[in-house]
Amino acid sequence: MEIPGNEFRVKNKTVQSRAKVTGKESTKTQVAGAKSTEGAEQIALSSKAKDIQKAHEAVKNSSDIRVDKVERVKAEIAEGRFHVNSDKLAEKILKDVITEAKFLG
């Protein structure tokens, strides 16, 4: 049985995809980069994709807090050696405001 109304346009050309419905429960589907085996589909990832996946896992498993820096700042505050340069702080805040305004405007 053909499914009607399954046409779509790609770059001013009409492409018709014909899907047939059969009584079978499982069919084999093959896509670019995929290898089909008996009853299962396998997708091969490139080494770059594997590296990206490893990097995502490393970031996901890492701590959001830099403990060494926090401990150093705590010690400096306790000893009275931690000082904030107000000029540099104001400059960074203004840069962020200007950048955000350019992005939103």
Q: Give the model's pLDDT for residue 7.
A: 52
Q: Mark 26-46 as b/e (b = at least 16 C-beta within 10 Å).
A: eeeeeeeeeeeeeeeeeeeee
**% of the chain with per-residue pLDDT over 70:** 62
DSSP state of 1: -
For residue 62, pLDDT beyond 90: no
For residue 82, pLDDT beyond 90: yes
The domain ranges of the chain are: 46-105
For residue 73, pLDDT beyond 80: yes
